[in-house]
Amino acid sequence: MQIQFNNMIYTLLFIVFVIFVCYAFYVMKPKKVGKVPKHWHAILMQNVLFYKKLSQTKQAVFRKRMMLFLSEIHIEGVQTEIEELDRILIASSGVIPVFGFSNWSYNNLSGILVYPDSFNADLQFSDRDENKRILGMVGTGRFENQMILSKKAIRLAFNNKTDKHNTPVHEFVHLLDKMDGETDGIPAFFIGKEYIAPWLALMHKEMEAINKDASDIRKYGGTSEIEFFAVASEYFFERPKLFKQKHPDLYRMLSECFQQTSN
């Protein structure tokens, strides 16, 4: 009887092991990456200044990176249709901050929810809801590994090429900030321990300038270290030459962080 019981236990353990191996293989196997539609190049040239400034060789790499992103991240509209342009702009926003890294997958992101417009802290966005001021956020709790973006903010981010503001890029930078386990405005995963103290000094100095109206970095960057990193990064990617001119030390630090220089 005991032998039969032991055999049954071993059989169950073996079945569980097989199921686990099959699941791991399914999760870890490379996702099928589709071909880049030829007409996307023209759409990117018209809408994404970062892409437009790249060499033809790097543009081809950028498009492939977009397709990899779209194969890994599920994008879903909430009471709004996800159009081709939305997918292109979201994928571009995800690729831009990590373009300096040859191989990158957002292992802390599985899906993106797109709302039609701004929303409130309770994630409500109807006409009767109040305090709808949020344009994008990285989810927590039951929305862990999710990002929520306003469709209007996605379009505005690429319509205005001189405002130093890009909501989707801002949110992707928050994800990068989170790579070391904490969202704290210190990109330790990317810059190494020796750069943390200089980064903190630069950040606090510039935050003080922002709060004294003595900086051209957006005021939201002065509210916390977390937002400073994301806001300064928006500026770095949106207006790199101006950022380098106005903030050379910050530019050098973010170039080190993102492994990118101005195009």
Strand (E) or helix (H) holding 150: strand 146-150
Give the ranges where the chain is alpha helix by DSSP (H).
2-28, 40-47, 49-52, 56-72, 84-95, 151-159, 167-177, 188-191, 196-211, 225-238, 240-246, 248-258
Q: Which residues contact 198 (CB under 8 A, 6 or more apart)?
A: 253
pLDDT tens by residue, the chain, 263 residues? 555 545 555 554 445 344 443 333 434 444 567 789 999 999 999 999 999 999 999 999 999 999 999 999 999 999 999 999 999 999 999 999 999 998 899 999 999 999 999 998 888 887 777 778 888 999 878 888 899 999 999 999 999 878 899 999 999 999 999 999 889 999 999 998 899 999 999 999 999 999 999 999 999 999 999 999 999 999 999 999 999 999 999 999 999 999 997 65
pTM: 0.85
Q: What's the pLDDT at 11?
A: 56
What crossing angle do the helices spanning 196-211 and 225-238 adopt, rounded to 10°? 90
Query: Among 3.40.390.10, 3.40.640.10, 3.40.50.720, 3.30.300.30, what is the CATH number of 46-258?
Result: 3.40.390.10
- Residues 155/43, Cβ–Cβ less than 8 Å: no
